[in-house]
Amino acid sequence: MRHGFIFTGTDPELAVELAPLAEASGWDAFFVWEGIWATDPWAVLAACAMVTERIRLGTMLTPVPRRRPWELAGQTMTVDRLSNGRVILSAGLGVAEEVEDRFWIFEDDPGRRKRAELLDEGLEFMEQLWQGEPFTYEGAHFHAKRTETMLPPRIVQQPRIPTWVVGVWPRMKSMRRVARYDGWIPNYAPPDADGVDPDEQQRTYTPEIAAEAIAWIRDERVRLGLGDRPFDVVQEGTTGGVDPRADAARVRPWAEAGATWWLESDWKVPAERVAEYARDRLRAGPPRVD
């Protein structure tokens, strides 16, 4: 299992200070969050790339349907090249307006179905944009005319920047999307639930359910001819960083279920304490399972 740290603050200078601390303290990745009217995460990650050498860098997460694919492709390519191939793209539908209206102050939510269409098309489109070669594209929402001039550099990582996708278990349309890409960011909707409630998910999503979903993903990837390619499963959570045994006990069931990444986060830390918390938690090191 590898270990990432999610910076939940908003100060770009602090993020750039923390990334090398994460690397020096044994973490494997450093993530920042992406908002709509917020600090630019890809500018921050570009700066982080210049002060680190090993750790992977990414967002947690990018609402791809809210983005123009050519702009996101350029941003991610830039950081991928600056970091010599250390970028991860975490992709999701974005928060619905009824869940968090703060993210919809500039436009109206077109609804889950359209956001899902935009996610599928955006991810497909970016795979061609990342190659920096002439191509044409014609989709329901986006198109590209062929051009031979002013082409950007291609990404370092091939055939694409590793893309982790949010998927809701056991909703098969959502999970089939996940299986085509490079990692699963789990959401869980109990069979009798009307929607995906974050509090209910935390209460009901267990390592046993994760293992069931991971087994399904593995079978689906074999069916798609992708069974021999790397695939990551993410589990986000909070450990104290004080008692290594307690931290390992918290993480171990998820590792045994098949999770390949533990992402450390605590979104409840007040803004005025984020810097102190992040420095202390990073220095304590990741919650390793023997």
Domains assigned to the chain: 2-284 (3.20.20.30)
- The pLDDT value recorded for residue 199 is 72
pTM, two decimal places: 0.96
- The pLDDT value recorded for residue 18 is 98
- The pLDDT value recorded for residue 109 is 96
DSSP string covering 11-54: -HHHHHHHHHHHHHTT-SEEEE---SSS--HHHHHHHHHHT-SS
CA distance 103 to 109: 9
Please give the backbone phi and psi of residue 217, each rounded to the nearest 5 degrees, phi first.
-60, -45
Per-residue pLDDT of the chain (290 residues; tens, 9 = 90+): 999 999 999 999 999 999 999 999 999 999 999 999 999 999 999 999 999 999 999 999 999 999 999 999 999 999 999 999 999 999 999 999 998 999 999 999 999 999 999 999 999 999 999 999 999 999 999 999 999 999 999 999 999 999 999 999 999 999 999 999 999 999 999 887 776 677 777 788 999 999 999 999 999 999 999 999 999 999 999 999 999 999 999 999 999 999 999 999 999 999 999 999 999 999 999 999 98
What is the three-class DSSP state of 59? strand
- The pLDDT value recorded for residue 191 is 80
Helix ranges restricted to H, the chain: 12-24, 41-50, 69-82, 112-129, 172-179, 198-204, 207-223, 244-257, 274-284
- The pLDDT value recorded for residue 68 is 97
